[in-house]
Structure 1
C-alpha cells in the first residue's frame, strides 16, 4: 500500500499503524482553543500515545500533547487536556458499539486541515500481537526489495 502524503497533513501517528490493525476510519472535527490551533499549525503536536474514549455520549481524545504556543502567554491551556471530538450522535453510537467489542479501541491516526479547519482521522483499531508486527515488517521489506528490483530492471 503506497500512501501519498497529503500537503494538509499536520501530524501523523505512524506508530498506530505498526501497533494496530486499522479496520475502519472516520473523520471528526476537534474542539480546540485558538493558541492550540496555532501550535498545531506549527507542527508542535504529538499523537504517539493518544487514544479516544467515549464518556457520557461524547468522544474525547486523551493524552494528545499540544505544546503551548510561544506567543500565547495567558491564553495557553494545559498541553494534555482532554479534547472533545465533534461528531453526530448517531456516529458516536455506532463507534460505541464497535469499540465495545473486546480488543478494539479508537486511535487518532492523523491531524490535517480541511477548508481551514483542523480535523482528526480516527481509526477503529485492534491491537497486533508481536508475531503480527514481525510479519508486517517482513512484508514491508519484501515489497521494498521488489520495488528496487523492478526499478533496476526498468533501468536497462
Structure 2
C-alpha cells in the first residue's frame, strides 16, 4: 500500500496565449479541488425490461478544477500566473476564451493537460485577513498528457 501524497505538492500552470508552449506557474495557492464529474450528462435507458431498476448511459464527460489562494504581490508586482488569469485570459471571448492549463504532483513524470476555459473567482477579505484569490478551469474535450521536461 502506498503512502498518501501531500496536497501542497501539486503544481498548476497556465499557457500564455501569445507564446504557445510557454507555461506560467500559478503560485500562493492554499487549496484546490478537482471535480471529475462536473458537466456530466446522462441518458435514462430504463425500460420495462429493467424490472424496476434504474439504468443509464453517460453521454458527456466533463471536469472542473478550482484553485484558491491568496492574492499575491511582492514589492507591488503581482504573481505572474494570477495576473495572467485575471488581466488577460479572463477577458477573452469566443474561441479565444479557450486556452491550456496543466497540472501534476511533484512525484509525477507527466503533466495532465487541459484545453479549457477559466472563470475568475471572488477576491476579498475581512479586517484581519489576507486578500483571497481564485479561479475555476472547465475542461473542454478529453485531457491529454505530456512528459515533464527538466532543463539543466
Give the TM-score normalised by the residue count of structure 2: 0.26
Structure showing greater relative contact order (alpha-carbon pairs closer than 8 Å, 6 or more residues apart): 1
Higher fraction of strand: 2
Give the TM-score normalised by the residue count of structure 1: 0.25
